[in-house]
Amino acid sequence: MTVERVLAGPCVAWPEDSSFIREVLDRTGDKWTVLVMTTLGDRTLRYSDLLASIPGISQRMLTVTLKALERDGLVVRQAHAEMPPRVDYRVTDLGRSLQVAVMQLAQWAAENHAAVAANRALHERIGVGRARSVDADTHPAG
């Protein structure tokens, strides 16, 4: 007896070239992208201010992230011809449309970090698949 496979989820509706969609999701869901986009908000910031505002990001990672965001049209880079050199970044209209989702993701992480930490601790103690999650009573598994 063979079991019929059930295809589900958003990937089913995506076109044949869905690798491009996955690539965009990889960029927009990256932790540094989320932090850069939420840090920029609706203001223009200098590179050095972005670097100082995002704990843990290296100069290289900030540069790589900003270049990718600029390439995708989510951020605009403006270099000023002055001494010392100054470079500013701001979010584009397209980037602002992404910020709504990114802010929600960041807010969810901030609001739920304690529950995730508790589940990780439980997993470390008893292993995967051996117990209900910490909040199984409020969010029963389907």
Residue 14 has pLDDT above 90, yes or no: no
Question: Which of the pair, 19 or 134, is modelled with greater confidence?
Answer: 19
**Of the candidates 112, 120, 104, which has an alpha carbon nearest to the alpha carbon of residue 138?**
112
Q: 5 falls in which pLDDT band (50, 70, 90)?
A: confident
Q: What helix, strand, coil percent values describe the chain, rounded to 5?
A: 55, 10, 35
Q: 71 falls in which pLDDT band (50, 70, 90)?
A: very high
Tell me the average pLDDT across 24-30: 86
Q: What is the DSSP letter of 43?
A: S
Question: Which of the pair, 100 or 14, is modelled with greater confidence?
Answer: 100
Residue 121 CA to residue 115 CA, distance in Å, equals 10
Q: 73 falls in which pLDDT band (50, 70, 90)?
A: very high
Give 90-136 as a 3 state SS string.
EECHHHHHHHHHHHHHHHHHHHHHHHHHHHHHHHHHHCCCCCCCCCC
pLDDT one-digit tens code per residue, 103-124: 898 899 999 999 999 988 888 8
pTM of the model: 0.76
